[in-house]
Chain A
Amino acid sequence: MSHGYLSPTGLEIAFVLIGLVTLGSGLLVVTVKNLVHAALWLLVCMGSIAVEYLLLTAELLAWIQVLIYAGAIIVLFLFGLMLTRAPIGPTEELNVRHRWPALIVGLGAAGTLVTVIVQAYQHTWFDPRGAVPLGSGEALGTQLFKYWVLPFEVLSVLLLAALVGAIVLSRRGRDTEEAEA
């Protein structure tokens, strides 16, 4: 099979189309004037990234994306928004002063990432049928717990430290309140 940019396969066309959906919903997240709508567009964005993972045969990663980001994180966002303030209709305070610096930082970060990834992988062609076993739960588990077990454990210690830190911070406030009362 010859590879080229000019004769895309169905998979590549689907990948680009879903990529456009991701990009569009990502832009909407930062441009819509309604906070809850932004969170819901973020859901679309996360969901289409999961579809991209699926197209790249990273099945486990795709479901983790759905479970953690589309499920848990968006629920947390919506909960936080509704608990504080989430009026129906546009929120004027969203016109932040830092819009132009934020745009520059965002474009710069995106440009860096795109350059790096294009430089690194521009001659790598990936065969979806050959890659299927690589993205399965078994393959990923084997990789993670055979060759990458030390970084994995270090990460879990880091998360545990963050968890303990969060508890300490939230309890400290309560102790002083009780002392004052």
Chain B
Amino acid sequence: MSSLTWWLEVGLRIVVVFLGFMVIPLVVGQMEHKAMAHMQGRLGPMEAGGFHGWAQLVADGVKFAQKEAVVPAAADRRVFQAAPAVALIPYLLALIVIPIGPGTQVGVDLDLGLFFALAVMGIAVLGPLMAGWSSANKYSLLGALRSAAQLMAYELPMLLSAVSVAMAAGTLSLPGILGAWHWYWIPWQLVGGFVFFTAGLAELQRPPFDMPVADSEIIFGAYTEYTGLRFALFLLAEYAGIVVLCLLTTVLFLGGWHGPVADQQLGWLWTAIKTFALAFVVIWLRVSYPRLRADQLQKFAWTVLIPLALFQLALTGVVKVL
């Protein structure tokens, strides 16, 4: 392959991943508006763009871009301004290594793709911490503390359950894991899938694990002081996080592009269907579960999720040896 076509291909892949990163979180956000509304007997956005308010989030984006970007006088300016980028960019990086279809339908086939995705997602959690501290606001600091405590508790079960799949496949490469996948992995790795998805929800601070941003207690946690585009970036990071979590769960526990029919031709469609089904579950949980308290959160992580993850790890090991 000549170097020009190589550069073209790399450029094209980056553009495609970036477009996906900008568009899919908006689709999930719109889905959240509509699904929540209908579950609560409302209609949700109906005006913007005409058909069922499809352009609502585009309009929101324009609104956010027009607002003044306020930095509080007592805030630590540079950390305050850098925090949204620290929260957002890791999810873009994680998206690069997740395969959406068979063969070369992946940004970069990294030998240690799973490790890479989890490592950069671990960086994303610094965003709310930096935001909460630099805001010089007690509510923000409380929110940052709550998110740090929560993240430390839920990082471990998430890693352990991901390790179980890597053990089953014998590789850390995400396309490699899908190459080794069989349908019976769904029941075999079911417990791990539950642990991974739940711990991921907690890492994203989505309900019922949204104590760090509990609006009735601490306004909006670490993001209280943010306005305009920076606030929009934090929101985008949340939805990009949902997309990355659902994609990773799909790839690790639901077989990714494998499907009952035509998975060689339409693999990306299967990935999309499973990912959006999981995103719907994320929204559904938000509407139907009450928020957990701090002690309940910690107890759930240490006494339920970690033992379950260790059990899954032992099960994987035993089946693998047999």
Chain A residues in the interface with B (C-beta under 8 A): 34, 36-37, 40, 43, 59-60, 63-64, 66-67, 70-72, 74-76, 78-79, 82-83, 86, 88, 136-138
Is A78's CB under 8 angstroms from B129's CB? yes
Is B122's CB under 8 angstroms from A67's CB? yes
Tell me the smallest distance from the CB of A174 to a CB of chain B, in Å.
Answer: 16
Please name all residues of chain B whose beta carbon is closer than 8 Å to the beta carbon of A74 when the two chains form the complex.
126
Query: What are 8 inter-chain pairs, A to B, with CB distance below 8 A?
Result: A36-B76, A36-B79, A36-B133, A75-B148, A76-B152, A78-B129, A79-B145, A82-B133
Is A66's CB under 8 angstroms from B123's CB? yes
Please name all residues of chain B whose beta carbon is closer than 8 Å to the beta carbon of A59 when the two chains form the complex.
111-112
Is B111's CB under 8 angstroms from A72's CB? no
Is A37's CB under 8 angstroms from B79's CB? yes
- Contacts A88-B74, A88-B76; is A67 near B119 (CB within 8 Å)? yes
- Which chain B residue lies CB-closest to A60? B112
Is B133's CB under 8 angstroms from A86's CB? yes
Chain B, interface SS category? helix
Is A78's CB under 8 angstroms from B133's CB? yes
Assembly CA distance A64 to B118 (angstroms)? 10
Q: B113-137: contact bitstring with A at CB < 8 Å (1 yes, 0 no)?
A: 0011011101101100110111010
Is A82's CB under 8 angstroms from B122's CB? no
- Which chain B residue lies CB-closest to A80? B148
Extra contacts, 20 of them, besides A79-B152, A88-B134 (Cβ < 8 A), are A37-B79, A40-B79, A59-B112, A60-B115, A66-B119, A66-B120, A72-B152, A72-B155, A75-B125, A75-B126, A75-B148, A75-B151, A78-B126, A78-B130, A79-B129, A79-B149, A82-B129, A82-B133, A88-B75, A138-B111
Q: B58-86: contact bitstring with A at CB < 8 Å (1 yes, 0 no)?
A: 00000000000000001110010000000
Q: Is B144 an interface residue (CB 8 A)?
A: yes
Assembly CA distance A138 to B176 (angstroms)? 13
Chain B 125-174 residues near chain A, CB threshold 8 A: 125-126, 129-130, 132-134, 136, 141, 144-145, 148-149, 151-152, 155, 172
